[in-house]
Structure 1
């Protein structure tokens, strides 16, 4: 069977068809932003500072001053540490809850209660326990990310085809082998989904957490710009937060998934 080759013109039209809807949406958003801040706002309103023609140069100024790169790197580092702590806690706990009906029944009310508490509600306790610095930020990020990872891990365990477990047991697999060869590969996609959801929640919590006693990070820079009444810089940092968060989420969505369950069991 001979495959038809696509001409360069067809490829360009296909790329254009994919790019123009998001491009048009971005252009419309910028146009509405400009209208709201440059045309509809009063002449002496602070909103005038947040117009696109004043915010975009502020982004360039912050970059040339070295603020954006260093503080964005610090924020990302805090995000990674918090996510790592949440993953180390949530994945083993999710496996334990998912594999034991008794543990699941016992843990359900506690998990349901704790996950409904806003992570920022723990701020006074985090500061009292850990003091001022990075540790409370790590704690709040982990508190935000732990529940999506845990619940998705439990869901992944519940979704495992019991036939695969029976096949592994028929080969006299030990509990460790069952966990390593069948269960963990089977829940990998669910853990990845939980990580992506937890990352989004953690990124939202990270910025206000950095407004509490630390002197670096994107959240701190928002407070710093506000204190100087530089609202164009405030919006510039907000744009960077949105762009950086979208990039991190995109990378998280590209994490490798698991292989086929059939190959996994065959390898046991």
Structure 2
């Protein structure tokens, strides 16, 4: 018996026999290279923009400003030096955790209220027509204008802050969810109907997955709004939080600590938005 080698007609082990697969592999590799270069370019440009902002800040407070001027108290050199002390030797981390907890509660309540309302409004045209003017009217009212009423109704403490943050966050979530329902592929709904799917099955398997991208977009917008509203809300009869810490540094004339806290607020807001973008990407809706 003679051995059969690859030259006898059998394909060689480890060699690709499909030109189509080779072409697909080359295209995939080229796509990864292009995507990597685009990501690198985006990172470099973003870092450059932040560097320019930092340079402008430094020039305005350390270079242009006259010596011993009041503006010098807000310079980046003193702010970054104070920042390390605040993170390690003060109760700033406690205030950060308190603020993040309030944001989480406000966003959670907004999701619990806004998503079901958005699904209902987007599913029923008559309900949409009846509620749209009222929703548009309410969402144009600044959440901060409700602060005196919130204190009178809920008293001082966390409850008025939860109300204000929920009120601020609910509108982008509700309206984006409703828009997602309206933009659902009609063929999906027809398919569910032809398969005799129940209303609950249609909601679970068609509507909710179909509007998830819109919900996450609304959540990202809500995070930006809530983070902006949070600081003035925490200047309202509470004893903890970043807003309270800002007032405390002002009263103590600790201007470098105030500037460092502003940096912390900006950094945390940036990270929250980055987390929302990553959640959107992981959901498979990123384009």
Q: Same fold by TM (over 0.5)?
A: yes
Question: Aligned pairs, how many?
Answer: 256
1:122 aligns with 2:123: no
Q: Which has the higher contact order (CA 8 A, sep 6+)?
A: 1
Match of 2:175 among 151, 159, 174: 151
| Residue 257 (str. 1) matches residue 277 (str. 2) | no
For the Cα contact (< 8 Å) 1:188–1:258, is it kept in 2? no
Is 1:38 matched with 2:86?
no
Give the match for residue 239 of structure 2. 215
Q: Which whole-Å CA distance do the structure 2 matches of 1:21 and 1:99 have between them?
A: 42
Q: What is the deviation of 1:25? A: 2.1
Aligned partner of residue 213 in structure 1, secondary structure: coil
Q: Deviations over 1:116-174 (max 9, x none)?
A: 00001110111111111011111111111000000000110001011111110111111
Structure 1 alignment gaps of length 5 or more: 260-268
Q: Tell me how far apart the structure 2 counterparts of residues 225 and 106 of structure 1 sit (CA, whole Å).
A: 48
Which of residues 134, 153, 168 is equivalent to 1:110?
134
1:92 to 99, 107, 116: 116
- What are the Cα deviations for residues 19-40 of structure 1, in whole angstroms up to 9, with x where unaligned? 4322322222222111111122
1: distance between equivalents of 2:175 and 2:129?
14
Instruction: Give the CA deviation at 1:52.
Output: 1.1
TM-score, scaled relative to structure 1: 0.89
Give unmatched runs, 5+ long, in structure 2.
1-21
Say which one has the larger Rg.
Answer: 2
Please give the secondary structure, in 2, of the residue aligned with 1:254.
helix
Structure-2 separation of matches of 1:19 and 1:114: 39
Conserved? CA contact 1:186–1:258, under 8 Å: no
Q: Contact between 1:157 and 1:187, CA under 8 Å: does it hold in 2?
A: yes
Question: How large is the RMSD of aligned CA atoms in angstroms?
Answer: 2.2
Return the alpha-carbon distance in structure 2 between the equivalents of residues 14 and 178 of structure 1: 39
Instruction: Say which of 213, 225, 229 aligns to 1:205.
Output: 229
Number of the residue aligned with 1:49: 73
Q: Distance in 2 between matches of 1:83 and 1:191?
A: 12
2:251 corresponds to 1:227: yes
